[in-house]
Amino acid sequence: MPRLLGVLGGMGPLATVDFLGKLIAENPAGRDQDHVPVITYSVPQIPCRVEAILGNGASPLPAMVAGLEVLARAGVEAVAIACNTAHFWYDDLARVSAVPILHIADAACADIAAGSCVGLLGTEAALQAGIYQSRLAARGVRSLVNAPELRARCVLPAISLVKQGRAAEAGRRLEPAIKDLLGQGAETVILACTELPVALDAIGSDYRRRVIDPARALARAAIAWSFA
């Protein structure tokens, strides 16, 4: 029997559904019974993570802790969080959680070779949290970000459009930011916000071959954990 996974979701709701889809798509199982058993807590009525990190709003930590407790009481043996920005509070969550929490950046960075150069796309808040930069530096990988102006023009609107269900528009808005990072010498680009892969998928973007989708990497890690 595979182990029961908990998913702390709702940040946002569509990214959570996207993650659950990847948990199926990345598993070669042919039968229902061979898929990961999972309980998902997706309650989007939670303070905005971005505003909290930037110091403009209430902390989402109590709501996240409440979700973790519901999952642990329901019997999950580990938790995945389908939101990069929420990992800003990873250490606080891990300290109080009754079960281990799989880290999205550990999963995304697992296969990146030392000496390479990686671009990072995400909210200001996610980048400020530094969850990718610290792991990449520790592996001897250089990281690049867009200039703030380009980020404001491409990345934040793309995230917002996905949350509004306008994923194709989001994809077209996002592509120039990826092109910019590749032009600066990045060999691959980490899409450090769970909404961004949804945007590229919606337009079948060619850039998908040049990016790492942390949610997909987390799904693979969760499948490996469940069946270990």
Contact positions vs its own copies (CB under 8 A)? 1-2, 4, 10-14, 16-17, 20-21, 24-25, 30-35, 37-46, 70, 73-75, 163-165
Measured from the CB atom, the residue of 29 and 138 that comes closer to its own copies is 29
Closest among 106, 47, 61, 77 to 226, alpha carbons compared: 77
Say which DSSP state 57 is in.
S
Rounded to a whole number of angstroms, the minimum distance from the CB of residue 51 to its own copies is 12
Nearest 5 degrees, angle CA 41-CA 43-CA 48?
125
Distance CA 119, CA 79 (A): 27
Measured from the CB atom, the residue of 73 and 95 that comes closer to its own copies is 73
- Identity at 23, one-letter amino acid code: L
Note the residue count of the chain.
Answer: 228
Rounded to a whole number of angstroms, the minimum distance from the CB of residue 1 to its own copies is 6
- Identity at 32, one-letter amino acid code: D
Rounded to a whole number of angstroms, the minimum distance from the CB of residue 67 to its own copies is 9
Q: Report the b/e string of 162-178 with b at 16+ CB within 10 A.
A: bbeeebebbbebbbebb
Rounded to a whole number of angstroms, the minimum distance from the CB of residue 130 to its own copies is 24
Measured from the CB atom, the residue of 106 and 124 that comes closer to its own copies is 124
Q: Report the b/e string of 184-220 with b at 16+ CB within 10 A.
A: eebebbbbbbbbbbbbbebbebebeebbbbbbbbbbb
Measured from the CB atom, the residue of 5 and 136 that comes closer to its own copies is 5
Measured from the CB atom, the residue of 74 and 224 that comes closer to its own copies is 74
Distance CA 55, CA 48 (A): 11
Rounded to a whole number of angstroms, the minimum distance from the CB of residue 181 to its own copies is 27
Distance CA 67, CA 44 (A): 11
Rounded to a whole number of angstroms, the minimum distance from the CB of residue 3 to its own copies is 11
Measured from the CB atom, the residue of 49 and 135 that comes closer to its own copies is 49
Phi and psi at residue 26, in whole multiples of 5°?
Answer: -85, 0
